[in-house]
Amino acid sequence: MILWLLLAAMTAGALALLLMPLLRKGAAAESRAAYDLTVYRDQLAEIERDLERGLLGPEEAVAARTEIERRMLAAADGQGERAKDAKERGGDRAITAAVIAAALPLGAFVLYLNLGSPELPGQPFAERQAERSQAVDDPAVQTRVAELAEHLRQNPEDLEAWLALAESYIALERYDSAANAYRHAILLAQGRPDLFSVYGESLVLANDGQVTGEARTAFGQALAAAPGEPRARYYLALAEAQAGNPRAALQMWVDLAADSPPDAPWLPILDQRIGATAEELGLEAASIAPTPRAVQGPSPEDMAAAEQMSPEDQADMIRSMVERLAARLEAEPDDPDGWLMLARSYQVLGEPEQARRAFDRAAGLAANGPPALKARIQQAGRELGFDLPQ
Amino acid sequence: MIPEIGHYALILALFAALIQGTLPLAGAQRADAAWMALARPAAGIQFIFILTAFLALMHAYVTSDFSVLNVVNNSHSAKPLLYKISGVWGNHEGSMVLWMLILSLFGCAVALFGGNLPPTLRARVLAVQGLIGTGFLLFMLFTSNPFERVFPAPLDGNDLNPLLQDPGLAFHPPFLYLGYVGFSMAFSFAIAALIEGRVDAAWARWVRPWTLVAWCSLTLGIALGSWWAYYELGWGGWWFWDPVENASFMPWLAGTALLHSATVAEKRDALKSWTILLAIITFSLSLIGTFLVRSGVLTSVHTFAQDPTRGLFILGLLIIAIGGSLVLYALRAPAMKAGGLFAPISREGSLVLNNLLLMTAAATVFLGTLYPLVLDAVGGGTVSVGPPYFTATFVPLMVPMIVLMAIAPMLAWKRGDLAGAFTRLRLAAAVVVVIALGTWYLKSEGPVLAVLGLALAGWLFTGTLIEFSGRLKLFRIGMRESLRRAAHLPRATYGMTIAHAGIAIVVAGITASSAWQTEKIQVLRPGETVEVAGYIFTFEGTQELQGPNYTIERGTFQVSRDGAPIARLFPERRFYPVQGRQTTEAAIYTTWFADLYAVIGDADGEDGRVTRLYHNPLVPWIWVGAVVMAMGGAVSLSDRRHRVGAPARRRAAAASARA
């Protein structure tokens, strides 16, 4: 209500300011020539001043004066326009005022009702303390994340804890952190390709729904280990759609739907995708038949998977993940356990020198750290075959 | 509620602009005093409501009201207050509000201080301003609405691009826009004059102060922008000829030409048609600069594809504004009466040459900026037009320009005495020889262009001083008399002298910093030293610190020369976790004759750091010179001839009415 009163007051103020000069009879205006002559008179005066101060020679002054006087004559020729300039049409004023007074409020309110959101109050940050503390962000999940992080600091090799942490991060919509946690988990559990699919999904979420190259690789890994894995198939189809091949994507989704059990939880989303994409392409969703089993050649996702099958590629994938971990640690180097994990990963990849370097970073941080940390580093050092530098 | 008030204020401003753009124009045409009288209050109302909207948006930013989409996308609760405020214009929608605020401010200024303008001219000028405002308010409300709301409101925002979280960038858009939009006044005056079918010396005087304001602001805006690029991007350079920079530079070149040709129109009633055309071109370049280049319509085909309405709207507006005004010009300009005659060698002649050189320079920049963008947009592939193109085309145009700048002010109007001017410039020629030989002796390895550049700067600076002392008749009539003359010189004369001297300083800075920059890139471990142009940089290591919404890695350099410590430099790298982005903060120590400039980069995996160290001779002169130029403009603006009032008879009438 207050809002509407204020808006009405603003409108009334605008009208008052606008209509005042219309309803007040204005003074008769000067002719255009009078304004011109004022300027020229000033120019003449300027010449006199310059002459007086010796800034201008007498001859130049005469020439300049003649020129300005010529302009004055030309301007004065236009004096006759005066009558035209100052014409007054009394009757029009009231009509104009009435039209404006009716049209402006009407137009402004109609436009505002279409564009505005009068029902929404302002929500300054400071007034939303309560909301913040109730949100998903807090406190249960938040506490759980803190606990898990603390636990993982003590036991960095607890795979289940890493997975739980990743899931909590997903709940908090902190997808980047979730991807990081999955990456740790995958590096720990070298033999569990089922994690690639959730890792890929977290990457997609972290990139605002874009299936990046890295995510594609992850889904390829997932399919290599478990052909037909629905999550990976779904996202690889999405990747096709984003790459500008909606037709191929549509076929892949239809195939996935045909392979899914009738009570699969992802079917509603899938159907929605199929419907939307078909509509976009101007096709009837029902008219698209799944690729028959018998003639099914290698599907795009199978090919993507096949590309990934070789052990070298698997090593490449792991290497790229290790590099990301290394990059993160460069940015946030105050993480001894991260360095330890990096050292272990390098050891697995058969790069003892790099492993040694990472271990030294961890040891360097531990040097000023609590005794428990020091002990853990020593323990890890023994496993890796490194001594703690003194 | 406050965001909704802002939203409604924008709508009211649209209606005010609509009235301002139509009725006074029609009123002036059919000589209806009542309709013409609507222009002034409408301009005032438009300004008041856009200011209201601007303040409402700022309130949303300062209080982090995340129910406003624009705030969600460009702010964060943890951001320092300064960047919450600058976040208002650090994005497309908000910058449009600032753009409109300044446009309506100029309109309001004409309404308030335009009492000395003939009523029809004033009504038409304001109407054209109103039409521009209408176009952009429609654009804002329908395609780029800053007051779009979100429900439910997110708990926090996405933060402003960290590169923009910097004092240099916080303040330069307002100046830049004052410049861009300021030229809309020259445009409106030009269109009004074309409609009126009448351009005379008086018109040239009325338009001049507005052009001056715009020119000064744009000069400062460009200088601030390049200063930001210099210390924030961390590459030791200050101008990269990228489209955003060129977008501000083109209107500056055209505006400088306009400023000079308007002088001819005012003093000699000549070059009127050309001045009108320049006014149209300058504002067109401002529009193209703001909307075609900065908005990313052309730079990224993808943004255009994602939001075709926005791009099409911009193109439509540009076509109406630029195309329409050029058509009007083509129809009306031939009917304009030619003014005073002049010989080729004269003040006018030299200003024509100045205009030709400036506009050719603007055209080369235009070509180099838009050609790759257009080619890319129509699918013709990617070409890169880089600094070599601009150096090869721009420098040869500026050399004669600067030679001319020392000579032209000594030529008289109508018919100049070239031989006399050269005689007076003997001292400047001597300075050129001394500087060239001195530079050659100090930097025998050249490059020749740099020797030439410094000599030109010396030529211009000395030439400008000689011209000024000539006006004072210094050393010819005794000190007391000279001082008396100095006190009576018009401010515009001072303005020219100061601005030209500023250019000389800028030229020296540009030349020396591009020719003799020393750059050293290396990995340094704590304790290691590097010598850069005679200075010893000792790297003392890095430490980690916490900023308000970022983390800091700060390196420390001890700089000494000949064993004596000079300064400690603290270059930083900042990491902004919300956007996951990194920025560099160069550390700069200036001696005013050179900058010592240090940047730290990645660690090499151990305790070493990639470091980039620069010695940039005379680089501060570029910005000092630019500020001097803007000061020259401001002094010229204070000239008494800009304060000529309304016709005396009216004042007499008003006095008698009161009596």
CATH number at residue A348: 1.25.40.10
Q: Helices in B320-346 by DSSP H: which ranges?
A: 324-332
Which residue in this structure is represented by tokens 């008179």?
A41
Decide if A126 is inside a domain.
no
Mean pLDDT by 10 residues, chain B (659 residues): 93 96 89 86 95 96 90 85 87 89 94 86 94 94 90 76 74 86 94 88 88 94 89 81 85 95 87 92 89 59 57 86 93 78 84 93 90 76 81 91 90 82 87 85 77 92 91 79 83 92 94 88 90 90 83 91 90 82 87 90 81 91 95 90 63 42
Residues 4-23 of A with CB under 8 A from B: 6-7, 10-11, 14, 17-18, 20-22
Total domains present in chain A: 3
The per-residue pLDDT for A389 is 53
* C-alpha separations of B29 from B24, B119, B127, B321 in Å: 8, 12, 12, 20
The per-residue pLDDT for B370 is 82
Distance separating alpha carbons of residues A309 and B246, to the nearest angstrom = 51
pLDDT-wise least confident of A138-152, A196-210, B254-268, B469-483: A138-152
Q: Residue B605: its chain A contacts at CB < 8 A?
A: 330, 357
Decide if B656 is inside a domain.
no
A14, A31, A92 member nearest B12 (Cβ): A14
Same domain, B458 and B573: no
Q: Do residues B204 and B265 make contact, with C-beta atoms less than 8 angstroms apart? A: yes
Distance separating alpha carbons of residues B532 and B529, to the nearest angstrom = 10
Q: Which domain holds residue A31?
A: 2-83+91-115
Same domain, A49 and A155: no
A:B CB pairs within 8 Å: 213
Q: How far apart are the first and last CA of chain B?
A: 50
Q: Within chain A, what is the greatest distance between any pair of CA atoms?
A: 107
The last residue of a domain, from among A307, A326, A355: A307
Q: Residue A38: its chain B contacts at CB < 8 A?
A: 116, 644-648
Total domains present in chain B: 4
Same domain, A299 and A320: no
The per-residue pLDDT for A273 is 83
Decide if A135 is inside a domain.
no
Strand partners of residue B569: B557
Q: Residue A18: its chain B contacts at CB < 8 A?
A: 16, 19, 38, 41-42, 45
Strand partners of residue B584: B573
Distance separating alpha carbons of residues A261 and A370, to the nearest angstrom = 54
HSE at residue B104, side-chain half, CA atoms within 13 A, is 31
Distance separating alpha carbons of residues B446 and B515, to the nearest angstrom = 8
Q: Do residues B264 and B203 make contact, with C-beta atoms less than 8 angstroms apart? A: no
The per-residue pLDDT for B481 is 81
Q: Do residues A383 and A362 make contact, with C-beta atoms less than 8 angstroms apart? A: no
Decide if B655 is inside a domain.
no
The per-residue pLDDT for B228 is 85
Q: Do B1 and A331 touch (CB under 8 A)?
A: no
Distance separating alpha carbons of residues B267 and B202, to the nearest angstrom = 9
The last residue of a domain, from among B116, B131, B160: B160
Same domain, B234 and B375: yes
- Note whether B488 contacts A: Cβ–Cβ < 8 A: yes
3-state SS track over A126-150: HHHHHHHHHCCCCCHHHHHHHHHHH
Same domain, A271 and A156: yes
Q: Do B488 and A49 touch (CB under 8 A)?
A: yes
The mean pLDDT of A118-140, rounded to a whole number, is 71
The per-residue pLDDT for A296 is 45
Q: Which domain holds residue B438?
A: 397-516+622-630
The per-residue pLDDT for B92 is 82
The H or E element that residue B341 is part of is: none
- Sign, Cα dihedral of B205, B211, B217, B218: negative
The last residue of a domain, from among B396, B416, B432: B396
Decide if A122 is inside a domain.
no
- Note whether B489 contacts A: Cβ–Cβ < 8 A: yes
Same domain, A266 and A157: yes
Smallest CA–CA separation between B562 and chain A, in Å?
Answer: 36
Q: Do residues A338 and A325 make contact, with C-beta atoms less than 8 angstroms apart? A: yes
Same domain, A250 and A373: no
A32, A87, A331 member nearest B33 (Cβ): A87
Q: Residue A91: its chain B contacts at CB < 8 A?
A: none
Same domain, B8 and B31: yes
Give SS3 for B600: strand
- Note whether B575 contacts A: Cβ–Cβ < 8 A: yes
Decide if A133 is inside a domain.
no
Distance separating alpha carbons of residues B549 and B454, to the nearest angstrom = 44
Helix pair angle (A267-281, A246-259), 10° resolution: 150
Q: Within chain B, what is the greatest distance between any pair of CA atoms?
A: 89
B67, B120, B205 member nearest A123 (Cβ): B67
Question: Which residues, 6 or more positions from B299, have their beta carbon under 8 angstroms from its beta carbon?
Answer: B243, B293, B373
The per-residue pLDDT for B133 is 95
- Note whether A77 contacts B: Cβ–Cβ < 8 A: no
Smallest CA–CA separation between B479 and chain A, in Å?
Answer: 15
The per-residue pLDDT for A83 is 44
Decide if B31 is inside a domain.
yes
Same domain, A363 and A297: no
Question: Which residues, 6 or more positions from A73, have their beta carbon under 8 angstroms from its beta carbon?
Answer: none
Structure tokens at B640: 């008494």
A39, A118, A123 member nearest B202 (Cβ): A39
Decide if B65 is inside a domain.
yes
In terms of Cα–Cα distance, which of B322, B325, B316, B313 is closest to B366? Answer: B322
**Residue A140 pLDDT level (bands cut at 50, 70, 90):** low
Q: Helices in B160-271 by DSSP H: which ranges?
A: 167-196, 201-232, 243-268
Decide if A390 is inside a domain.
no
The per-residue pLDDT for B649 is 47
Decide if A121 is inside a domain.
no
**Residue A89 pLDDT level (bands cut at 50, 70, 90):** low
Same domain, B572 and B584: yes
Cβ neighbours of B49 (radius 10 Å): 26
DSSP state of B533: T
Same domain, A167 and A266: yes
Q: Do residues A56 and A64 make contact, with C-beta atoms less than 8 angstroms apart? A: yes
- For residue A57, the chain B residue with the least C-alpha distance is B412
The per-residue pLDDT for B187 is 96
* Higher per-residue pLDDT: B659 or A126: A126
- Cis bond upstream, residue B152 (ω within 30): yes
Structure tokens at B521: 């890139």
Same domain, A163 and A294: yes
Same domain, B126 and B184: no
Decide if B653 is inside a domain.
no
Question: Which residues, 6 or more positions from B275, have their beta carbon under 8 angstroms from its beta carbon?
Answer: B190, B199, B204, B258, B261, B262, B264, B265
Distance separating alpha carbons of residues A186 and A225, to the nearest angstrom = 14
Same domain, A52 and A153: no
Same domain, B362 and B414: no
**Residue A50 pLDDT level (bands cut at 50, 70, 90):** confident
Q: Do B648 and A137 touch (CB under 8 A)?
A: no
Q: Do residues B384 and B372 make contact, with C-beta atoms less than 8 angstroms apart? A: yes
The last residue of a domain, from among A307, A331, A353: A307
- Note whether B23 contacts A: Cβ–Cβ < 8 A: yes
Q: Do B67 and A122 touch (CB under 8 A)?
A: yes
Q: Do residues B56 and B3 make contact, with C-beta atoms less than 8 angstroms apart? A: yes
A26, A35, A100 member nearest B19 (Cβ): A100
Same domain, B141 and B257: no
Same domain, B413 and B448: yes
CA B11 remoteness from chain centre: 30
Q: Residue A112: its chain B contacts at CB < 8 A?
A: 7-8, 11
Percentage of chain A beyond pLDDT 70 is 83
Same domain, B37 and B141: yes
Query: Is A225's pLDDT higher than 80?
Result: no
The per-residue pLDDT for B298 is 56
Decide if B194 is inside a domain.
yes
Same domain, A54 and A154: no
Question: Which residues, 6 or more positions from A302, have their beta carbon under 8 angstroms from its beta carbon?
Answer: A223, A227
The last residue of a domain, from among A259, A287, A307: A307
Q: Residue A353: its chain B contacts at CB < 8 A?
A: none
Same domain, A303 and A320: no
Q: Do A122 and B65 touch (CB under 8 A)?
A: yes
The per-residue pLDDT for A294 is 44
Same domain, B212 and B85: no
In terms of Cα–Cα distance, which of B506, B581, B466 is closest to B164? Answer: B581
The per-residue pLDDT for B97 is 93
Same domain, B422 and B545: no
Query: Is A139's pLDDT higher than 70?
Result: no
Residues 347-386 of A with CB under 8 A from B: 357
Q: Do residues B107 and B129 make contact, with C-beta atoms less than 8 angstroms apart? A: yes
- Sign, Cα dihedral of A270, A210, B66, A120: negative
Same domain, B105 and B183: no
Query: Is A262's pLDDT higher than 70?
Result: yes
Which residue in this structure is represented by tokens 């330069």?
B172
Cβ neighbours of B16 (radius 10 Å): 32
Decide if A124 is inside a domain.
no
Please write the tens of the pLDDT for every residue from A237-261.
Answer: 888 888 888 888 888 888 888 888 8
